[in-house]
Structure 1
Amino acid sequence: MSTLRISGLQKAFDGQLVLHDIDLAVRSGSLVALLGPSGSGKTTLLRVLCGFERADAGSIEIDGRRVAGDGLHLPTEQRRIGYVPQEGALFPHLTVAENIVFGLPRAQRRARHRVAELLELVGLPESYATRAPQQLSGGQQQRVALARALAPSPGLVMLDEPFSSLDAALRVETREAVAHALAAAGATAVLVTHDQAEALSLGHEVAVLWRGRLLQSTSPQALYRYPATRELAAFIGEAVLLPGTVANGLAHCALGALRIQNGLHAEDGLVDVMLRPEQIDVRPEAGQRDGTLGAVVRNITFHGQDAALTLQLIDADATVRARVPGYRTPREGERVRLAVGGEVSVYPR
């Protein structure tokens, strides 16, 4: 297990900065999900960390050992990094066992060093060792790619969108297996992804890159509940953003006077108020009316386990989005009552 520390990292292509002064620390044995939209610099950062690209400024330390910075650029093979690419990139002319030991010294390759142990670690039977990669499913190939990355006992494991080519059901199964294998190996890992659900469910911490800048790095729960900017709020999951004001420590908007998140110092004035759709409790019109607001259901998107509702507030010129369990889905045109639970975030305007 190794720690990773990045300080003031910059990278430019053709004079255009792609990474702006990145600072990030990854604890030993943890998995950090590096999240961002396409073009945010995620893959560039991973390539610089692996040594595939040279940093223009800043430094990288792995377990206290500098591998980049002040003119130093250690080549990839000296950084003790395991790398899992998007498509697994297994060699089709080699067996599973030969793929796993490919990067090991010749004696260990001949001895099929740790093949059975690594297959068990990634949740595959030992009998798969003699199979060709094309005899495996996409998810199984990704597990073999992880076993190959873990074979040299690297200090760090880098995963570059490893589940993006898998279908939804296989993606969930494979990422659970990969997370288990990384935890069992005690590996320190960085997962590059644009999938928010993947980042929030796998990462011990989530670091968000936005136009080459690191906007926020925190726990998945804190990132989802208290994103640093309104743009980040809209990117992470679904956000309800309403114009409002802060007065007397409360956020006042079309949904009423709402509690602001603990620890946030919000000065009085104009703000955008952010909450999540699931914070809006949708109740029958005939139910308790005290402390609730009237609304009409204008549109329904049914997902099975839940449904997304577009609601027109009766006493305010505003629409909001809410989520309800699938079995409690109302009808279009139905009148309902709304109440807000939990705290909200505010962003000065």
Structure 2
Amino acid sequence: MSTLRIAGVSKAFDGHPVLHDVHLTVQSGSLLALLGPSGSGKTTLLRLLCGFERADAGSIEIGGRRVADDTLHLPAEQRQIGYVPQEGALFPHLSVADNIVFGLPRAQRRTRHRVSELLELVGLPESCAHRAPQQLSGGQQQRVALARALAPAPGLVMLDEPFSSLDAALRVETRAAVARALAAAGATAVLVTHDQAEALSLGHEVAVLLNGRLVQTAAPQTLYRRPVTRELAAFVGEAVLLPGRVSAGFAHCALGALPLAQDTPATPGNVDVDVMLRPEQIDVLPHDAMRPGALDARVRDVTFQGQDAALTLELQLDPAQAPTPIRARVPGFRTPQPGERVRVAVGGEVSVYPR
């Protein structure tokens, strides 16, 4: 197990900045999910960590050992990093066992060092050892790729969107198996992904890169509930953003007087803000429901998604003005119909961003 420390790392290609002054620490034995959209710089950061590219500035330490700075660039093979690529990249002409021991010294390759142990670790039967990779499912191949990465007992494991090619059901199953294997091995790991559900469900912490800058690093629940900027709130999950004002510990907006999160920085009274809440915080009730503070609304659009449904609601607060559109989410079995009259109320606290 090794702690990863990144300090002030920057990188540009042909004069175009890709990463800006990135600072990040991954504690020993933990899994960090590095989340960002395409073009955010997450793949570049992965390549810098692995030693595939050289940083323009900053330093990288793995297990207290400096592997990169302004004057040092340790090559990839000397960094003791296990790497799991997107497609597994197993050798089709080698058996599963030979793939697992491929990066080990020759003597350990001959004895198929730890093959049985590693197969058990990633949740595969020992009988897989003699099979060809193409005889395995996609999820099984990714587990073999993880076993290969863990075989040399690396200080750090890098996973480059390893589940992106799997179908939805297999993706969930493989995620769980990989998470269990990493935890059992006590490995320090960085998962690079653009999948928000994947990052929030797997990461002990989630670090978000936007436009080459590290915007926030936090536990998944903190990141989702208290994003530090409105842009981050709109990127991680779905955000309802409404104009409002802060007064006496409440955010006043179209949905009424809503309690502020306890960790909201102190602000003077009557400050213009954007109020942020999540669609699932909006309780959609029958039109005849009696609940203090509930408001009348009309269902404009419905997107049914099986286990839940996304709604666009209209609040008619002032007959002289256009209705205020609100996004909400309800369980699938309680999906209303377009045009239906409902009542809405808000549960939980909200975040605010000064204008």
**TM-score, normalization by structure 2:** 0.97
Q: Which residue of 2 aligns with 1:181?
A: 181
Q: Deviations over 1:121-172 (max 9, x none)?
A: 1111101011111111111110000000000000000000000011111111
Inter-partner Cα distance in structure 1 for 2:274 and 2:288: 31
Residue 307 of structure 2: which of 287, 305, 308 is its match? 305
What SS is found at the alignment partner of 2:252? strand
- Determine whether 1:342 maps to 2:344: no
Deviates more, 1:264-273 or 1:317-326: 264-273
Residue 94 of structure 2 aligns with an amino acid whose one-letter code is: L
- Determine whether 1:273 maps to 2:275: yes
Deviation at 1:333, TM superposition (A): 1.4
Residue 243 of structure 1 aligns with an amino acid whose one-letter code is: P
Inter-partner Cα distance in structure 2 for 1:289 and 1:28: 49
- Determine whether 1:287 maps to 2:289: yes
Deviation at 1:55, TM superposition (A): 0.9
Inter-partner Cα distance in structure 1 for 2:341 and 2:16: 53
Map 1:148-187 → 2, pairs under 5 A:
148-187=148-187
- Determine whether 1:332 maps to 2:338: yes
Residue 345 of structure 2 aligns with an amino acid whose one-letter code is: A
Q: Which residue of 2 aligns with 1:69?
A: 69
Q: How many residues of Structure 1 are paired with residues of Structure 2 in the alignment? A: 349
Deviation at 1:249, TM superposition (A): 2.2
Map 1:97-108 → 2, pairs under 5 A:
97-108=97-108
Residue 303 of structure 1 aligns with an amino acid whose one-letter code is: Q
Inter-partner Cα distance in structure 1 for 2:329 and 2:19: 37
Structure 1 stretches of at least 4 aligned residues deviating more than 6 Å after TM superposition? none
Deviates more, 1:16-25 or 1:324-333: 324-333
Verify the 8 A CA contact 2:56 2:70 in the aligned structure 1: no
Deviation at 1:289, TM superposition (A): 4.2
Inter-partner Cα distance in structure 2 for 1:56 and 1:167: 38
Deviation at 1:190, TM superposition (A): 0.2
Residue 280 of structure 1 aligns with an amino acid whose one-letter code is: I
Deviation at 1:302, TM superposition (A): 1.0
What SS is found at the alignment partner of 1:157? strand
Name stretches of at least 5 consecutive residues in structure 1 with no aligned partner. none
Map 1:1-349 → 2, pairs under 5 A:
1-265=1-265, 266-267=267-268, 268-316=270-318, 317-349=323-355
Deviation at 1:341, TM superposition (A): 0.7
**TM-score, normalization by structure 1:** 0.98
What SS is found at the alignment partner of 1:72? coil
Name stretches of at least 5 consecutive residues in structure 2 with no aligned partner. none
What SS is found at the alignment partner of 1:304? coil
- The percentage of counterpart residues that share the same residue type is 79
Inter-partner Cα distance in structure 1 for 2:263 and 2:329: 27
Inter-partner Cα distance in structure 2 for 1:226 and 1:275: 9
Inter-partner Cα distance in structure 2 for 1:8 and 1:130: 46
Residue 246 of structure 1 aligns with an amino acid whose one-letter code is: V
Inter-partner Cα distance in structure 1 for 2:333 and 2:38: 36
Residue 193 of structure 1 aligns with an amino acid whose one-letter code is: T
Deviation at 1:270, TM superposition (A): 1.3
What SS is found at the alignment partner of 1:331? coil
Inter-partner Cα distance in structure 2 for 1:73 and 1:305: 50
What SS is found at the alignment partner of 2:61? strand
Deviation at 1:78, TM superposition (A): 1.1
Verify the 8 A CA contact 2:161 2:191 in the aligned structure 1: yes
Q: Deviations over 1:170-191 (max 9, x none)?
A: 1111111000000000000000
Inter-partner Cα distance in structure 1 for 2:181 and 2:291: 51
Verify the 8 A CA contact 2:297 2:314 in the aligned structure 1: yes
Residue 327 of structure 1 aligns with an amino acid whose one-letter code is: F
What SS is found at the alignment partner of 2:143? helix
Inter-partner Cα distance in structure 1 for 2:15 and 2:224: 34
Deviates more, 1:259-268 or 1:202-211: 259-268
Deviation at 1:337, TM superposition (A): 0.9
Inter-partner Cα distance in structure 1 for 2:12 and 2:249: 44
Deviation at 1:248, TM superposition (A): 2.1
Residue 269 of structure 1 aligns with an amino acid whose one-letter code is: V
